Chain A
Amino acid sequence: MTSTSDLISDRPVLPVQLLRRLADVVAVIRSVPVSVYLAAAIIMLYILAAVTPELLQSHAPFRTDLRATLQPPSFAHLLGTDQSGRDLYSRVVEGTRQSLAIGLGATALSTTLALILGVSAGLAGRVVDGVISRLLEVLFAFPNLFLGLLLIAVFEATTTTLIFAVGVGTAPGYARMVRGQFLAVKGAGYVEAARALGHPYWRIVLRHIFPNAMRPLVAMITLGFGQSIVWASSLAFLGLGVAPPSPEWGALLDAGRQFVTRAWWLEVMPGLAIIVFALSVTVIGRHLQQRLEGRVRVL
């Protein structure tokens, strides 16, 4: 493996070495399946939609047109129009920012909670582990979205509530995985060795346990991001999402529900937007997982 310092050193590099390095890079690039590149490109497109939606929109997303209601997909309206004549494509694009923000926020929250609970349980001894494990078991007794629904019932349904609902609702699952990882790594041979060599505990945790335990979690968090968006959309679909006329994807699905037999595009198109994004994130996540687990050669 080559370090960055080698590349920028003043030492003259022989053409043969340069070629070898180039061959290495090409090999790695070739080792990444096309599907991952495709997924990355799609995610870039979504990010672009989230950052500058107006670049991609064909119409103003909130502009109603009472003379063009419930139009099927056409050149004028790529994904058709809704009951108020709003362009569905432009609304899906507009909703990207909010949907991704909810997914990102919820994943960040659930990861933070999971780390606090999981690391404490994994490292702080049997008593703390026992308490946290029982707590997680209690939380597991409820359906995944129960906590989320509870939060929404108590607080107003806003983007922030939705982030909390999904974040808190999915945290117990991650927490248990984090705990498992830390426990497994804690008992690994290299940690034993470091301990035998007399390294201080904090150093062992920071240098050995944390990086090794977190590696598989990176992939899991990536997968969780896509899942969070699906959860948030599910809540919004149940009418528990952000207020209209927000084009958040789940809210679009909810609004289109009553037209499912007459205007299929109102359900299918926002649904596709969610599926394509979630799939793309999953492809990247799975690939990361394989690499981090060493099943694919890492650069």
Chain B
Amino acid sequence: MMSLSSNRAEPSPGYGRRSISAGLFAAAALCSIITPAAAAEDDKRGGIIRYGHYQEPPCLYAGWVQAGYIQRQYADNLVARTHDGQIVPWLATDWSISEDNLTYVFKIKPGVTFHDGTVLDAKAIVTNFERWLSNDPDKVNRNGKLYIGEYIRSVTAPEPLTLKIELARPYQPFLTVLSTYFFGILSPTALERGPKELCEHPVGSGPFAVETWNHGQNVILKRNPNYNSAPATAKHQGPAYVDGIVWKFLKDSTVRYGSLVAGESDAIYDIPAVDWADAQKRFKVIQDITGGTPTRLQLNTARPPFDDVRVRRAFAYVAERRKAVEVSFQGSIPFNANGALSISTPEHLKDLADSYPYDPDRANRLLDDAGWTARSRDGIRTKDGKRLTVRLLYAGGSLITPDGVSVLQILQDQARSAGFDIVLKPIPQADWFAGKGRGIDDYEAQPAYWVASSAEILKISWRPDQNGVINANNASRFQPPELWTLIEEADRTFDDKVRLRLYEDAQRVIVDNAAVVGLFPLTVSIASQPKLKDIWISSRVSEPVFHDAYFEK
């Protein structure tokens, strides 16, 4: 067993360090006690943040990233991850990893309690792990299990404040994964109340406690006056400055931005593209480009016409995707050509940043080569009497914003000139997450994103079907054995350079085969009133953080 304090040496942007010593954490905590003057701290106290968000999640716990944003306010994680990829303390003040990378021993911060008074110790964390990995559909944390389920051999609490995790095989992104919102630690007492209560009223140990969820309107979050477990990434230790947050759901972008302009909101999420320039002048704007996969078109490689790589490539060449993104988002969101990873993901391969530029001639040649030579009267290509139709399903108004829909409409028009008939089919949010109407024969393309800190997302997106179980997250149905071999090898490789090369090779396989066509990354943008200070976004999963926020007096 080696100590991890010695392992935090040189920073390596984009790669999770194994540890950081308790010293840094203690120093940060100490600094917050002795400086600056307590009086200045008092000046920051008070007020309620009226925050206008966009999407309302179906549950306040785990699942979709929209729940994660709220979970970041009420729950703490075992570890945190800095913007440049270092793993730093949170509930775990220190940890060590065995030489074989199979055993992790964490020291848990003493004196932490959940909002309901339950003590947060190693045993409570064990209970959380047990639930995440449970086979009981009412208990399991599906996304959590997807990431770590296959690796965990045992999770135990040998001492009240010592947590021991043994892995069945090495998994390099383990700590990175534990730092994301899927793995927020909740009160075991509250967990026992069943899934409905867990969704409605989750109880964590974070800076704010969930008081009420008024469906369709808001979530009321109340300040936790006993908060003493802020991560090392926080700007201050101790309780939040403000008394609470009214987390409003304002789906209509005009209404949302209008509420900020009218002073009815102190901060809003997702600034509409049309108001982007105006917001820069009038408000404080912060933005984070989310890691993981960008919004990209997943082409169904298991069905015609996209079972032919030439047709997939033609589809990628056929539209001015860069220009479409620039025009639709009016500069508020960048273009993301490499559909395998978001441009902010540390392992994103820049060589693929210009893949499949607009080239209608090449698209037409590829389609001719693929045998789609005849045209129907309305100009759509046909082959053996079948039209070159692409049913494009998308979660309009939830995963795909109105600006994103504009990009799809531009693609639809431009692809038509090369003979593609794109049929846009919006799917309501609830149906989308229930998988309704999204069977593997129901579509040719689906745009979607998946939030993650780094390239560990590739495992989720590209895991092949196993033992007859279809991986619904691999909407491209693209599963060549060599791709899975590369990803699995990367995930168990601890040499940063070698791992990076493996992830890059995996991206090449994905992009060269045009299994996905990149569009734009998910971004989190927040515009706030000038008097509201120190909201920040936890990169790379882009969770808004209100713990440090305060109103300037």
Q: Please report A residues at the B interface, Cβ cutoff 8 Å.
A: 62-64, 66, 69, 83-85, 157, 239, 243-245, 255, 257-263
Contact = CB atoms under 8 A, between A and B. Distances in A.
B250 to A, nearest CB: 12
Contacts of B410: 64, 66, 84
A66 B323 contact: yes
A176 B409 CA distance: 44
B77 interface: no
Interface string B317-358: 000100110011000000000000000000000000000000
A29 to B, nearest CB: 45
Contacts of A84: 327-328, 406, 409-410, 413
Contacts of B412: 245
B178 to A, nearest CB: 38
A66 to B, nearest CB: 5
A69 B403 CA distance: 13
B335 to A, nearest CB: 13
B402 A66 contact: no
30 contacts: A62-B413, A64-B410, A64-B414, A66-B320, A66-B410, A83-B327, A83-B403, A84-B327, A84-B328, A84-B406, A84-B409, A84-B410, A84-B413, A85-B327, A239-B396, A239-B397, A243-B425, A244-B409, A244-B424, A244-B426, A245-B409, A245-B412, A245-B424, A257-B254, A258-B253, A258-B403, A260-B254, A261-B274, A262-B274, A263-B274
Contacts of A243: 424-426
A155 B403 CA distance: 26
Contacts of B258: 261
Contacts of B272: 258
A105 B410 CA distance: 31
A85 B339 CA distance: 26
Nearest to B252: A257
Interface in B242-262: 252-254, 258
Contacts, number: 58
A84 B416 CA distance: 15
A93 B279 CA distance: 35
Contacts of A64: 409-410, 413-414
Given A62-B413, A239-B397, A257-B252, A244 B327 contact: no
Contact of A261 (B254, B327, B402, B426): B254
A141 to B, nearest CB: 22
B369 interface: no
Interface in B203-257: 252-254
A263 B135 CA distance: 53
B254 A258 contact: yes
Nearest to B274: A262
B148 interface: no
Given A83-B403, A261-B274, 16 more contacts: A64-B413, A66-B323, A66-B327, A83-B327, A84-B327, A84-B328, A84-B406, A85-B327, A157-B426, A239-B397, A245-B409, A257-B254, A258-B403, A259-B274, A262-B275, A263-B274
B326 to A, nearest CB: 8
Contacts of A63: 413
A71 to B, nearest CB: 12
Contacts of B327: 66, 69, 83-85
Given A239-B397, A244-B405, A258 B413 contact: no
Contacts of A244: 405, 408-409, 424, 426
A239 B395 CA distance: 13
B383 to A, nearest CB: 24
Nearest to A245: B409
Contacts of B252: 257-258
B207 to A, nearest CB: 33
A35 to B, nearest CB: 36
A17 B138 CA distance: 91
A262 B402 CA distance: 15
Contacts of B275: 261-262
Contacts of B253: 258
Nearest to B427: A156
A95 to B, nearest CB: 15
B324 to A, nearest CB: 7
A120 B396 CA distance: 44
Q: Which 7 pairs, one residue from A and one from B, show the smallest C-beta to C-beta distance?
A: A64-B413, A245-B409, A262-B274, A258-B253, A66-B323, A83-B406, A64-B410
A255 B408 CA distance: 13
Contacts of A258: 252-254, 272, 274, 402-403
A259 B396 CA distance: 17
Contacts of A257: 252, 254
Contacts of B426: 157, 243-244
B445 to A, nearest CB: 15
Interface string B266-283: 000000101100000000
B323, B405, B410: most-surrounded residue (chain A CB, <10 A)? B410
B475 to A, nearest CB: 20
A56 to B, nearest CB: 20
Contacts of A245: 409, 412-413, 424
A109 B553 CA distance: 62
